[in-house]
Each structure stands twice: as structure tokens, then as C-alpha cells.
Amino acid sequence: MKKTIFLFAFTSLVCISCKKDWTCSCTYTLDGTAYGNYEINDKSKDDARAMCEAMAISETGDTLVCKIAD
């Protein structure tokens, strides 16, 4: 049982740090209009999320929100 738990934890940890391609989806909050999808290549999920969220802007009362598509 301990080996199974260790193997599961190790596999989960390895997969979390894996670098892969991600899709960043951006929409406007005022009317929900889709702005676009952007590919972020060869990044960990945390790095991709930070890059995606950095694309968000706020202008004239409307905000562009960008999130990683899971």
C-alpha cells in the first residue's frame, strides 16, 4: 500500500512540473465577446498561467480576461 501511494504521489509531482503546450483563452468581461486563443508552447502550467494572465488588459470600463484552458 505504501508503494502504491508513493508511486501515485511521485507520478503526480512529475506531471505537474511537465512542460507542454497550453491554450490561453481571452474574453471581454463587459459583453463576453471572445477575443482570441493563444498557444503557449513548452511551459509548465504555472508559467503558462502567468504568461496568459499577463495578457489581460483593462480599458474604458471593459476588461480582457485571459485564462489557461484546462
For 30, list phi and psi in degrees, rounded to 5.
-65, -45
The pTM of this model reads 0.66
Residues 6+ apart with CB under 8 A from 19: 42, 43, 44
Residues 56-67 have pLDDT tens digits of: 988 777 899 999
For 33, list phi and psi in degrees, rounded to 5.
-70, 130
Residues 18-64 have pLDDT tens digits of: 899 999 999 998 888 899 999 999 999 999 999 999 999 887 778 99
- Whose cell is 497550453? That residue is 22
Q: Which of 69, 62, 58 is nearest to 36 (CA)?
A: 69
Domain chopping of the chain, boundaries: 19-68
